[in-house]
Amino acid sequence: MERSVTAERASAEELAKTLRDAITRLNRRVRQARPVGDLTFSQLSALTSLQLAGALTPRELADVERVQPPTMTKIVGKLEEHGLVARTPHPTDRRQVILAATEAGRTTYAQFERARNEWLAGQLAQLSREERDSLARAAEILQRVARG
Amino acid sequence: MERSVTAERASAEELAKTLRDAITRLNRRVRQARPVGDLTFSQLSALTSLQLAGALTPRELADVERVQPPTMTKIVGKLEEHGLVARTPHPTDRRQVILAATEAGRTTYAQFERARNEWLAGQLAQLSREERDSLARAAEILQRVARG
DNA sequence: CTTGGCTCATTAGCTAGGCTAACTACTGTG
DNA sequence: CACAGTAGTTAGCCTAGCTAATGAGCCAAG
C-alpha cells in the first residue's frame, strides 16, 4: 500500500461521481420500464423485501425499505387491497403483526420481476463477454457496499 | 464467440438481476444521504440537468428528466421560488421560455453535489485499489448502457 | 398486582411529485 | 386570414413520503 490516504480519497471521489451518475441514469431507465400493472414501484419493492425475508413485521419492513412506519402502513394497505400480502397476528406479542406475501403475491412478484429486468437484460446481452464479466465482478462489490 | 445466443441471454438475465439489486440499494442509500436543505431530489436533479446543458426550455428539461411538462412546471416553480433558476423569454418564439440556473443556483448545486457524493466516496475509499479499478471499469460500461 | 413508561401499529394532516385533460397564447402554413 | 399544431400552464387527481398524535399492549419497579 504505497498510495497516500489523500490520493485514495481523491480517486474515490472521482469514482463516486461517475458511478453515481451511471447508477442514477440506469435507475431511471429501469424504473421507466415498469409495466402498466396495478403495482407502483414502492409497492413492488416492499413486496420484494417481504418475499425475500419470508415474513416481517411492519416495523421491520419499514426499516428494510428505509421508510417511516406510517409510510409502510399505507403501502402495505395497498398491497393488502390487491390481495398480495396478508396480515397474521404475532404469536406472542399482540401489538405486532406478521406480514407475508400470499400465493397471488408470489406469482405477481415473479411476473413483475421479469418485466423489470427485461430492458436491462436486453442491454447487457449486447455487451461482449468481457464486459459482462467486468460488470459481474463490480455488481458483487457494489452489493457489499450497498449493504455496508 | 462460441457461446450460444441463448446462453448469453441467460447470463445476461442473471447479471441484470444482481446488478439491478445492487443499483437499487445503492440508489436508496445515496438518496438517503440528502442533506436537510430546502432542495428535494427531483429539484436537484432538474437543477443539475439545467446546469449541465447551460439553458433549456421547459419541454426540453422535461424530456431530459423523463417527466411530463406539467410536472416540470411545478418543479421549476419551486426552483424559481428559491431563486435558483430564472426564466427569460425566447428571442424569437414567444411561446417558449428559456430556463437557466442563476448564480445562486450554481453555487447551491455545487454544495449539494458534494454532499451527495460524500457517503459513497467514503465507502469507496475503504475498498482495495483493485476493487476500485473494477468499479471504474464497470462505471464506464454502465454509463454507456444507460445512455444507449 | 398495579402503575408508569416503553414499543408497535395506525390515523390524521401536511408537502412534493407524478399523471391526464383542458385551456391559453402563439406560430406557421395553406 | 383561418386553422392546425406546439409551448406552457392550470386544474384536479393519486401515490409517497414525512411528523405528530392516538390506542393498544408489554413489562419492570415498586
B:77-116 residues touching chain A, CB 8 A cutoff: 116
Cβ distance A30 to B23 under 8 Å? yes
pLDDT at residue A106 greater than cutoff 80: yes
Name which of A35, A45, A136 is nearest B13 in CA terms.
A136
Chain B residues touching A113 at Cβ < 8 A? 17
Distance CA A83, CA A88 (A): 14
pTM: 0.81
Within 7 Å: CB of A48 and strand D? Answer: no
Going from the C-alpha of A18 to that of each of A25, A51, B3, B112, B140, the distances in angstroms are 11, 32, 32, 16, 8
Distance CA B125, CA B119 (A): 10
What SS3 state is found at B97?
strand
Instruction: Please give, rounded to a whole number of angstroms, the shortest distance from the CA of B92 to a CA of chain A.
Output: 33
Farthest CA pair distance, chain A: 59
**Residue A32, pLDDT score:** 66
Q: In the predicted model, what is the mean pLDDT of residues B9-23?
A: 85
**Residue B34, pLDDT score:** 55
Within 7 Å: CB of A73 and strand C? Answer: yes
Cβ distance B48 to B113 under 8 Å? yes
**Residue B35, pLDDT score:** 47
**Which bases of strand D sit closer than 7 A to a protein CB?**
5-12, 15-21, 23-27
Chain B residues touching A141 at Cβ < 8 A? 127, 131, 134-135
CA-nearest residue to B17 within chain A is A117
Cβ distance B66 to A25 under 8 Å? no
**Residue B138, pLDDT score:** 95
For nucleotide C18, give the residue with the nearest CA to its C1'. B71
Name which of B111, B90, B97, B122 is nearest A16 in CA terms.
B122
Cβ distance B80 to B88 under 8 Å? no
Task: Tell me the backbone φ, ψ of residue B34, rounded to 5 degrees.
Answer: -60, 125
pLDDT at residue B135 greater than cutoff 80: yes
Q: Treating both helix axes as pointing N-terminal to C-terminal, what angle do B5-32 and A129-147 enclose, rounded to 10 degrees?
A: 30
**Residue A148, pLDDT score:** 72
**Residue A2, pLDDT score:** 53
**Residue B32, pLDDT score:** 67
Strand C interface, B 124-143, C-beta < 7 A: none
pLDDT at residue B37 greater than cutoff 70: no
Q: In the predicted model, what is the mean pLDDT of residues B123-130?
A: 94
Which tens digit of pLDDT belongs to each residue from B52-95? 999 999 999 999 998 999 999 999 999 999 999 999 999 999 99
Q: CA geometry: angle at A67 spanning A61 and A68, to 5°?
A: 95
